[in-house]
Amino acid sequence: MQVSISSTLTILHDGQFWVGICERRDGALYGACRFVFGPEPADEDVLAFVRDQWGRLDFRMRAEGVAPSRNPKRAQREARKALEAARRGVGTKAQQAIAAAYEERKDERRACARERREAEARRAFELRTAKRKRKHRGH
């Protein structure tokens, strides 16, 4: 069985900065990410980026056309949203992959914030109950 792996780096100016769109295809898996160069990169800068940082990029590889499992109502809502986006005109495949990776990171960030909030609420509750016990000690 032969598996082909291909990577592409496209550098473009987004109106404010020079940006690299990094794409990677590994068999049926596809992923993309975005890297901001800032000012116009020289050839040496691009070569140094590929040599030093390419291996550390987070491509968020996933099978093409396969979405993570969700509840049916959410899937229906996302399908409706995708149809509306198709009517508006969706960007390139790399832009779609970057947007999907952004959404995943957003979900992770929300989950982390929720855990932090719950831990803080538990800690505050424990402090309150400990203070209440200290007040009633010796009566």
- The sheet that has 18-26: what strands, in order across it? 5-13, 18-26, 29-38, 62-63
The two tokens of residue 137 are 């000690």
**CA 52 distance to own-chain centroid:** 21
* Residues 54-100: tens digit of each pLDDT: 888 888 777 665 555 667 778 778 777 877 766 665 567 888 888 88
Query: In which band, very low, low, confident or very high, does the pLDDT at 121 lie, cut at 50, 70 and 90?
Result: very high
CA angle 12, 65, 78 (to 5 degrees): 90
